[in-house]
Amino acid sequence: MEEEETKSTSFSELGLSGPLLEALNQFKFSKPTPIQIECIPPGIEGRDIIGIAPTGSGKTAAFALPILHHLWDNPQGLFACVLSPTRELAYQLASQFDALGVAIGVRTTVIVGGDEDRVRQAVMLAKRPHIVVATPGRLLDHLKVTKGFSLRSIKVLVLDEADRLLESDFGIAVDEILKTLPKERTTYLFSATLTDKVAKLQRANLRNPARVQVSTKQVYL
């Protein structure tokens, strides 16, 4: 059933804006994956989403495209924050936002720990990028010490690979970050598995979410 739906559905049928369709065509995204088909329409409607899907299912575009669609209508700085469990994934996510959002001039900043320069990161945050992709520990550091930086105006929060975020040492940092965010926001939670911690998080932070679960052995690039 999923295979038939994927074949019969195009990105243009999902309601995405023209510049995003141009970018998808430019980067040879020929047709949406099952999770993109299920997530993009409720994302465009402004609903919270909980998506259970394995790596390689195309979930990054499933949340990036609705965010970019709304950003096109409301191009404010610090529009969305994406939390990632690893530095490597954070850079991958930012790269996909940059590619898909090239036609609308999206500005992304990666905020991760390790050897990354905190001062340089603070300068980038002061420029109010549209999308902040971050690991929780370093983002919380900036929320505490970087003058003038807050997430009180963001419109969208993404918790990517939430099971890994919550099973790691990041759990406390995630809780602290959530306390700084506006209640009136859209939240996307994506996870490979629905653990008890993920279920508790979604009950506390998502409002009437669209629930999407995709199981696939096929890997989408």
78-106: pLDDT as tens digits: 999 999 999 999 999 999 999 999 999 99
Residue 220 has pLDDT above 60, yes or no: no
- At 84, the amino acid letter reads S
The span from the CA of 117 to the CA of 119, in Å, is 6
pLDDT of 217 above 90: no
* Rounded average pLDDT over 128-139: 97
Return d(Cα 181, Cα 216) in angstroms, integer: 34
How much is the pTM?
A: 0.91
Give pLDDT tens digits for 14-62: 999 999 999 999 888 889 999 999 999 999 999 999 999 887 789 999 9
> Are 78 and 128 a contacting pair, CB within 8 Å?
yes
User: Which domains occur in the chain, in start order?
Assistant: 32-213 (3.40.50.300)
Retrieve residue 35's tokens: 């999770």
CA distance readout (Å), 68 to 21, 63, 212: 11, 9, 20
